[in-house]
Every structure is written in C-alpha cells, then in structure tokens.
C-alpha cells in the first residue's frame, strides 16, 4: 500500500504530479463556486449592521475579535475570490491556496459548517506540495515534491469518511432512517420560505412521500450510507477496486448533494476530486 | 524525518478527534448524524399594531434548514428589534416530533 511505503520512505516515494494538480483544479472549482454563490446570495452584506449573523458573532465566543472580523469581512470576500481564480489558473498556487483557506477560516468563525472545514483543511494540506501546478492543466511528471501533501489529504479524507460512519452508526436517529425522513420533510416545508432557491428539483408529490415514509426506504438508505462510508476508503486505496469505489463514491455524494444541492456542491467536488489521490498506480498508467 | 513525525502526530490527532473527542471538535465529522429541526410559525406583535408573520429564513444564512438551536438566539434578536414574538414551532428530533410554544419571546414547553 503506497501510504505505508510513503511514510516508511520518509515521503521519498515518487508520485505523479498529475494527481494533485487535478485535485487542485477540483478544489479551486469548488471554492470558486462556493464564493460566487455566497456573493450572489448576499454574502457581502452578511455582517452588515442589524443582521442576525452579526448579532450572533458579537454575542458569541469571538465577541472580542468581532469588530476586526467585521472590518475584514468584505476585503476577505474579494481576496478569497481572486485566490480561487488564481488557484484554478495555477498562478502562485500555494499562495492562492493559503489565501483561499484563510478566507474559509474567516467564514467558519461566523458560520461553522463542516464542508467548509474540509475545504479549508485540504487547501492547507496542499501547501507543502512543491508542484501544485504546472500551468492551468495537470501534467504527468513523477516527483517526490507532492508525496507528503498527497499522503496528508488522503489520510484526512479516510478519517473523515470513517469518523462520519462512526457517528452515524452510533446515532439511532440516523441509523433508523428517522433523521433523513425528518430532514426531507422539514426541507420541503422550508422551500417556499427560503430567500434563495436551494433545490433544482420539484417537491415530491404527497402520495409518493407517504408511501416512502411508511416503508423501509429510509432505514435502508441510512444503513447503506454507513456501509458505503466505511467501505469507500478501502475500495479507493486498493488499485483493483478503485474504479468501482469511484463510481460508488460518486453515487453516494450525488445523493448527499440532493439533500442540500447548492450548499453541498463544493464539498462533493472536493471529496470526489480527492479520489484521484488514493490510487498512485492509476496516475502512473494514465 | 520531521515530515514523518508531523504525519504520525497528525494521524494520532485525527484518530482522537474523529472517534474519541466530543463532536464539536475540529476534524470530528458527525454530519447528518444528530439533528433537531423545526418548522416555526412565529408572529411579532409590536405595541398597538397587528401581528406580523416572521419568516425565520429571512434571518438564517442561505442553505440553512432551521434547527431548534437557532430559536433562542433568534427570539432574543427579534425581541430587541421588532417586538415580542409569539407562536408555535414543530420540532423534529431523535425522540420524534413535538410542539413548543413561544410566548413573549420565550420558549414555553
């Protein structure tokens, strides 16, 4: 297994720079999508006077730094958008990744969302990569300069899936299917009240919803998610099962994205993009 | 060598954060594992004026589905700006569904 070989060799194992460069494109696209949507949905004035988010920030654990955070809000929004564009274009990729990550950290202070934690974390873990970009498009080039970064992103992604499965398996609310049923119900009731549309698909008919609720649909879906999240990292790390695991992982993330389409698209882009980092033998032969 | 030490430490931290530490810890990932959602029907009654319906989604950040945890801060916020809040909220949590009442910007179970 290349993860063990990389660690044992002190990260002197050669990997194809193409992998992390493709991942960089996915993460940069995810950031760009997130930042543009955020601006389109009033992100620029989110901390303006009398907003509820500002009220929470001033009354929360960061109240001492609140004035500074509010003053930095708009410049940070502009800078992180520029950083996402330059990261996508491969211009000063490490500096761009750092600025985009800092922009996400700033957002996490007033709106803590785990998909943003993952985005910020993988951007920070990409910083040690020596060949994060060779121009806009990824290029094949065997090097040891990216091995450590690739290792760290893969380790974090494995831990994220297993930790998520662990918490879901221990939660009766999730494993019984109740949480998913409740979420879909509340989200469909919330739709007409949301200021910015989140869903691209219509509200399912009541007859269909009633049939689905009364059956084993949600418990089966919930347990399938736990199994998928547990098995996916193993499938991705083994070269033989990599392709099947990519297909399964993509399907699982598309289902997640249906729950909160606009919100979870960046997370899906980043996690599915990380699949390419798992299998070094795949990039050798590509 | 420093990379190996940092990596092993990072992996140790990830094991602790992901499986041992409280769920609020950084790198703990309890996404969709525990939720307390609500469907609120709230009204504000400014002094001497008819009540006005409150849409909580006007105040939440986009893409948020209202959770019970947001109710108390939102009531405190609305009471200081638009007046006392009244109404009901249907709450969905791990025990099922139940209704809570809001009277004069306070939750009355």
pLDDT per residue as tens digits for the range A243-264: 999 999 999 999 999 999 999 9
- pLDDT at A286 (0 to 100): 40
State pTM to two decimals.
0.93
List of residues 6+ apart from A90 with CB closer than 8 A: A21, A24, A132, A133, A134, A135, A136
Which helix (H) or strand (E) element contains residue B97?
A: strand B96-103
First to last CA, chain B: 59
- Alpha-carbon gap, residue A244 to A237, rounded angstroms: 11
Interface A–B counts its CB contacts (< 8 A) at: 138
Whether A163 sits inside 8 A of B19 (CB atoms) is yes
Cα A286–chain centre separation: 25
A106 closest CA partner among A76, A75, A62: A76
* pLDDT tens-place string over residues B84-95: 999 999 999 999
| Average pLDDT value for residue range A73-83 | 97
- Alpha-carbon gap, residue B90 to B76, rounded angstroms: 19
- pLDDT at A212 (0 to 100): 67
A174 or A216, higher pLDDT: A174
| A47 chain-B contacts, CB cut-off 8 A | none
Exposure class string for A45-81: b at 16+ Cβ within 10 A, else e: ebbeeebbbbbbbeeeeeeeebeebbebbeebbebbb
| Average pLDDT value for residue range B64-93 | 90
| Average pLDDT value for residue range A108-115 | 94
DSSP 8-state class, residue B62:
T
pLDDT tier at A159 (50, 70, 90 boundaries)? very high
A 162-181: CB under 8 A from B: 162-164, 166-168, 170-174, 178-180
| Average pLDDT value for residue range B8-37 | 95
- Alpha-carbon gap, residue A154 to B59, rounded angstroms: 37
Which helix (H) or strand (E) element contains residue B108?
A: strand B106-108
Q: Which tokens in the block code for residue B65?
A: 């589905």
- pLDDT at A262 (0 to 100): 92
Interface test with A, best of B1, B3, B89 (most A CBs within 10 A): B3
In the predicted model, what is the mean pLDDT of chain B? 90
């Amino acid at each position: 297994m290349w993860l063990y070989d990389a660690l044992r060799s002190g990260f002197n194992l050669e990997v194809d720079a193409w992998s992390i460069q493709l991942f960089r494109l996915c993460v940069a696209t995810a950031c760009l999508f997130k930042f543009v949507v955020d601006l389109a949905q009033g992100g620029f004035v989110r901390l303006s006077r009398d907003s509820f988010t500002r009220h929470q920030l001033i009354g929360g654990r960061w109240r001492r730094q609140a004035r500074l955070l509010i003053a930095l809000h708009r410049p940070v929004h502009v800078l992180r958008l520029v950083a996402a564009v330059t990261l996508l274009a491969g211009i000063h990729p490490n500096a761009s990744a750092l600025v985009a990550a800092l922009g996400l950290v700033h957002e996490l202070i007033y709106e803590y969302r785990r998909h943003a934690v993952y985005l910020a974390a993988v951007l920070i873990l990409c910083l040690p990569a020596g060949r994060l970009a060779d121009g806009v498009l990824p290029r094949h080039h065997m090097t040891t300069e990216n091995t450590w970064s690739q290792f760290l992103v893969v380790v974090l992604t494995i831990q994220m899936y297993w930790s998520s499965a662990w918490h879901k398996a221990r939660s009766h609310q999730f494993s019984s299917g109740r949480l998913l049923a409740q979420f879909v119900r509340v989200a469909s009731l919330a739709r007409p009240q949301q200021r910015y549309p989140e869903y691209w698909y219509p509200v399912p008919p009541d007859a269909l919803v009633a049939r689905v609720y009364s059956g084993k649909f949600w418990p089966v879906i919930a347990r399938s998610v736990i199994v998928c999240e547990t098995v996916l990292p193993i499938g991705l790390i083994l070269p033989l099962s990599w392709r099947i695991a990519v297909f399964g992982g993509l399907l699982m993330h598309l289902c997640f994205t249906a729950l909160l389409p606009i919100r979870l698209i960046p997370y899906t882009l980043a996690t599915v993009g990380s699949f390419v980092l798992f299998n070094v033998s795949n990039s050798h032969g590509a | 060598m420093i990379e190996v030490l940092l990596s092993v430490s990072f992996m140790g931290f990830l094991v602790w954060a992901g499986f041992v530490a409280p769920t609020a810890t950084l790198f703990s990932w309890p996404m969709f594992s525990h939720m307390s959602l609500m469907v609120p029907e709230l009204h504000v009654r400014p002094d001497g004026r008819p009540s006005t319906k409150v849409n909580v989604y006007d105040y939440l950040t986009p893409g948020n589905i209202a959770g019970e945890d947001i109710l108390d801060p939102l009531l405190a916020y609305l009471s200081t700006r638009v007046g006392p809040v009244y109404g009901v909220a249907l709450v969905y949590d791990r025990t099922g569904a139940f209704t809570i009442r809001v009277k004069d910007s306070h939750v009355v179970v």
